[in-house]
Amino acid sequence: EAGVAQSPRYKIIEKRQSVAFWCNPISGHATLYWYQQILGQGPKLLIQFQNNGVVDDSQLPKDRFSAERLKGVDSTLKIQPAKLEDSAVYLCASSPKYQGEPAYEQYFGPGTRLTVT
């Protein structure tokens, strides 16, 4: 079974530029998550999708971050414009969990390391 795929693996941009990350979850997984992991810290949830709907985006900085999962499969996370503090690893995870069911384990992709200069 293929794991969670993410691209690109690395990205370097200048502040105020825009960037987009792509994630393809494990086949059949209804729930998709984007996390931000700053160096030396644990991952922090940015947004959770169930199928193509947003379940939780309370920690997403909506003035600059956006995410979509149009067909309920793969997803894109965008930052526009980027700031220096956005330098982090962006992790995508998927889970077979459905709303109302107990929490299942999440399976993570390799992440995209973003450096904003």
Partner 1 sequence: AQKVTQAQTEISVVEKEDVTLDCVYETRDTTYYLFWYKQPPSGELVFLIRRNSFDEQNEISGRYSWNFQKSTSSFNFTITASQVVDSAVYFCALSEADGGSQGNLIFGKGTKLSVKP
Q: Which stretch binds partner 1 (CB under 8 A): 12-20, 69-77, 78-86, 105-113?
A: 105-113
Rounded distance between C-alpha atoms, residue 93 and residue 35, angstroms: 8
Residue of 22, 26, 113, 115 that binds partner 1 (CB under 8 A): 113
104 belongs to the binding site for partner 1 (CB under 8 A): yes
Q: What is the nearest approach in angstroms of partner 1 to the Cβ of residue 21?
A: 14
Size of the site for partner 1 (CB under 8 A): 31
Q: Based on the number of CB atoms within 10 Å of its own CB, is 87 exposed (0-12), middle (13-18) or buried (19 or more)?
A: middle
Give the separation between CA 14 and CA 37, rounded to whole angstroms. Answer: 19
Supply 14's token pair: 């200048």
Q: Which is nearer to partner 1, 2 or 103 (CB)?
A: 103
With contact defined as beta carbons under 8 Å apart, do 107 and 4 qualify?
yes
For partner 1, which is the closer residue by CB, 45 or 81? 45
- DSSP at 28: T
* Site residues for partner 1 per CB under 8 A: 31, 33, 40-45, 48, 55-56, 58, 89, 91, 93, 95, 97, 99-111, 113
